[in-house]
Amino acid sequence: MYILCTVLFVIGIYSIIAKRHIIKKIIGMVIIEYSVNLFLILVGYKAGGIAPILAKGQDVAEFASKGVDPLPQALVLTSIVIGLGTLALMAALAIRLYEKYNTFDMSEINRLRG
Amino acid sequence: MENLALGTIAAPLGSAILILIVTKWWKRFADIWATVVGGFTLIASILLIGSGPIVYRMGGWAPPWGICLVLDPLSEFMLLVVNLLGFFVTVYSLSYMEWYTNKPKFFALFLLMMAGMNGVVLTGDMFNLFVFLEIASLSSYALVGFGVEAEELEASFKYLILGSIASTLILFGVAIIYSVTGSLNMADISVFLKETGNNAAVLLATALFFAGFATKAALVPFHAWLPDAHPSAPAPVSAMLSGVLVKALGVYAMARVFYNVIPVDPIFLKVIMVLGVISMLVGGLLAIGQWDIKRMLAYSTISQIGYIFLGLSLGTALGLVGAIFHLLNHSTYKGLLFLCSGSIEKATGSRDMREFGGLSKKMPVTSIATSIGALSISGIPPFAGFWSKLIIIIACFRAGKTVPGVIAVGVAFITISYYVKLQKYTLFGKLPDKLAKVKESPFAMSSAMIILAVLCLALGLGYPLLNSSILSPAANSLLDTTGWGYITNVLGF
């Protein structure tokens, strides 16, 4: 699973660097974000884990050994929301860029130099 | 006092939303309220100076478990830097942003950015650092593209892609640190890592943090976004970006993480030093060739950030004091210069220095403020910039780093040369015919510029006072050789 994380990360970086299409760059960015989210989830993963809520009559020692770590899940939730904000801004900018330049090709959007 | 510290985050954060709601019925509300909030955070950050280490426990949870805000001398100092420039930029943009449509949205985004930066400076929790960093960065991406012209959108997109990659790298680093230590609290992580020592995973996390924060701070191999984003943004936003954003998100965060949280391998300090020196040189040399006034200032920012990192990387008390003092100075005079460039741009409608000349007769206030800013940044003795550069250079020689010291002296001459170019082409010489009707900028803009110009001079003259009250405590809180000072403050043992 950790290998999958790395592969996703590299794919994302590749598509940001090598692709010229704006939308493909945005997708690459989202893939990177999700590879990190996956990594965060894996940090808290436990084989055969149970929900980290102490039910009535549950053995505390068993709960402590089996319950998954809830913190990474909370972090991933936050990070997904932040990712949503970034994605929305990126998409809005892509639309505005298309209005101004009439192209999605980043190599033709190059009025800034120096 | 604890609530005052929280207020510097909560007030701008809440007001950003409040402004958007209320201005639906009352248009002037945005101006008034943004000024009030800016004034409040400035006064709060002045009052908080010297109030000692404060730990605010969110929701009453004690530090290793809950999220806490930590106000130590370094945070107090950064809070002052952020809010000082923030308030004057708010005053300036009251009349500058008349140029653009939809001022309320500008102020909402601006206050959001302020909240994010104050949060970054105050937080004592790694993930919280990432969240506030993203709040500040996201609103700054939107602010760079605020004019929605072709160039601005392009710059904003470039900045957004590079900025989000940096943020993602930082999040990756936080995740690795959490998987190693099982904690997100900075002090707790520090305790754990001191006991177990570094392993390969911590080294990887350090490298990720380094790449992420260096991108935010625009250190040279990571600087590509800055010369595009800063000139394209509206002038007050460029002043904020150059003046404090790169420092709060980049320099401060890196200093805090590398000095207080992770016991850093000395090799990283060497890397920072080499990159800092390269930044100074590359930024300075590229600035000479620029004709766009704001682009020149942006390259000059890269060069000055190099100075700050050089001071930080020395690891001695004198070097840190120099770096911190230079950080404060750079935020005032670079903010001032960007505000001046904005007022010149507004009066003449151009940013190309070849079209200017003789503006000192038509715009006395702006030209005096520009001259003071330029003199200060190029290191002419009574002004603040001279002292901070001198301290950094002396610290270099004291630490036995002769080559960086000599290069720092050389870059100071490069700095003088391009600011002389700026003054010669902009302020002196013959006034072109088409600029004959140029007028001085309105009161709100001039007053912000005047006060910042006075600050440039006052900071230089008041260095001995500043050193004992603000700078040395801030440097010491980084440079506690055992590193336990910060931990004791937070965890209370």
Residue-wise pLDDT for B216-258, tens only, equals: 998 888 888 888 888 888 899 999 998 899 998 989 999 888 8
How high is the pLDDT of residue B131? Answer: 93
User: Which residue of chain A is at minimal alpha-carbon distance from B224?
Assistant: A114
* CA–CA dist B479, B317 (Å, integer): 7
Residues in chain B: 493
Percent of chain B with pLDDT over 90: 33
Query: Tens digits of per-residue pLDDT, B154-198?
Result: 889 989 999 999 999 999 999 999 988 888 888 888 888 888 877
Please write the tens of the pLDDT for every residue from B33-85: 999 999 999 999 888 887 767 787 777 777 777 788 888 888 888 999 999 99
Which candidate in B141, B146, B153, B353 is best for mutational testing of the A interface (most A CBs within 10 A)?
B153
Q: Which helix (H) or strand (E) holds B56?
A: strand B54-57
Confidence of residue B277 (pLDDT cuts 50, 70, 90): very high
Contact B345, B285 (CB under 8 A): no
Q: Which residue of A has its CA nearest to B290?
A: A114
Does pTM top 0.95 for this prediction? no
Give the Cα separation of B259 and B493 in Å (integer): 20
Say whether residue A103 is in contact with chain B using an 8 A CB cutoff. no
The pLDDT of residue A114? 46
The residue type at B59:
G
Q: Compute the residue count for chain A.
A: 114
- Residue B481: pLDDT above 60? no
Task: Say whether residue A89 is in contact with chain B using an 8 A CB cutoff.
Answer: yes
Q: Say if B225 is an interface residue toward chain A (CB within 8 Å).
A: no
Q: What is the per-residue pLDDT for B471?
A: 80
pLDDT of residue B124: 85
Asked if pLDDT for residue A75 goes beyond 70, the answer is yes
Instruction: Show the DSSP H helices in B353-432 as ranges.
Output: 359-362, 364-377, 384-398, 402-426
Count Cβ atoms below 10 Å from residue B361 Cβ, excluding itself.
Answer: 11
Tokens of B446: 């001039």
Side-chain half-sphere exposure of A81, counting CA atoms within 13 A: 8
Mention every residue, 6+ apart, whose C-beta is less than 8 A from residue B363.
Answer: B343, B344, B347, B438, B439, B440, B441
Compare A11 and A111 and report the one with higher pLDDT. Answer: A11
Residue B491 banded pLDDT, cuts 50, 70, 90: low
Among all residues of chain B, which has the CA nearest to that of A82? Answer: B134
Average pLDDT over every residue of B463-483: 73
Query: Which of left, alpha, beta for A48 (phi over 0: left; psi -120 to 50: alpha)?
Result: left
> Which candidate, B337, B360, B350, places its Cα nearest to that of B456?
B337
Which candidate, B261, B170, B177, places its Cα nearest to that of B217?
Answer: B170
Please indicate whether, in this complex, the C-beta atoms of B156 and A82 are within 8 angstroms of each other: no
Task: State which residue of chain A sits closest to B180, comparing Cα positions.
Answer: A43
Q: What is the distance of C-alpha B442 from the center of its chain?
A: 26
CB B59 within 8 A of CB B66: yes
- Which of B156, B157, B175 faces A40 most closely, judged by CB atoms? B175
| B contacts of A114 (beta carbons < 8 Å) | 227, 286, 289-290, 292, 295
- Please give the structure tokens belonging to residue B255: 């200093």
Two structure tokens written together for B158:
């470039």
Quick one: tokens of B116?
Answer: 């994010």
